[in-house]
Amino acid sequence: MAGKRAPAPAKRLDTAWLAVAEDLGRRWFAEVPMVFGGRSSGARVACRTAEEGGAAAVLCLAFPVRPPRSPDKTRQDELDAVTVPTLVVQGDSDPFGCPEAGKHHEVAVVRGTHSLDADLDAVTRAVTEWLARVLRPLS
């Protein structure tokens, strides 16, 4: 993959994300619930760190449920481990697969691939409606 670099190891990404979240929470968001979120690898980081970081909810854009060169493996367990309300917005033709909905997470499937750029209105609508529904009881 010319021009593309693999992300840092998971432990390093998680540690960095938790440090940023702690700093933001302390400086700016001490009185409001924090929603952890990310796209692709960042969605995985958000899931893995939600509990330790005290996230009130998790937003996953294009969660890569299957590794690129190992289609027989799954990362569904990272998503299933999250115990706060979680939304996954996934393209209907994402080559990394589509995760299954679960007890604490729902999946909104929109037209498109892993880039989620085919129907930005659908992505915006799914996220906006979910945030309004999830954050209302927390405020």
Instruction: Quickly count: other Cβ atoms within 10 Å of residue 31's Cβ.
Output: 6
Q: Is residue 17 one of the residues assigned to a domain?
A: no
Check whether 132 has a pLDDT greater than 70: yes
CATH of the domain at 62: 3.40.50.1820
Name the DSSP class of 113.
Answer: -
DSSP-derived pairing of the beta strands 35-39 and 105-110 = unpaired
State residue 7's pLDDT score.
67
| pLDDT tens-place string over residues 53-110 | 999 999 999 999 998 788 789 999 999 999 999 999 999 999 999 999 999 999 999 9
Q: Is residue 128 one of the residues assigned to a domain?
A: yes
| pLDDT tens-place string over residues 13-54 | 888 889 988 888 777 777 788 999 999 999 999 999 999 999
Q: Is residue 28 one of the residues assigned to a domain?
A: no
The total domain count for the chain is: 1
Q: Is residue 18 one of the residues assigned to a domain?
A: no
Q: Is residue 70 one of the residues assigned to a domain?
A: yes
Starting at the earlier edge strand, list the strands of the sheet with 57-61.
35-39, 57-61, 86-91, 105-110
Q: Is residue 112 one of the residues assigned to a domain?
A: yes
State residue 28's pLDDT score.
73
Q: Residue 117: give the domain boundaries.
A: 33-138
Q: Which of 109, 107, 116, 66 is nearest to 85 (CA)?
A: 107
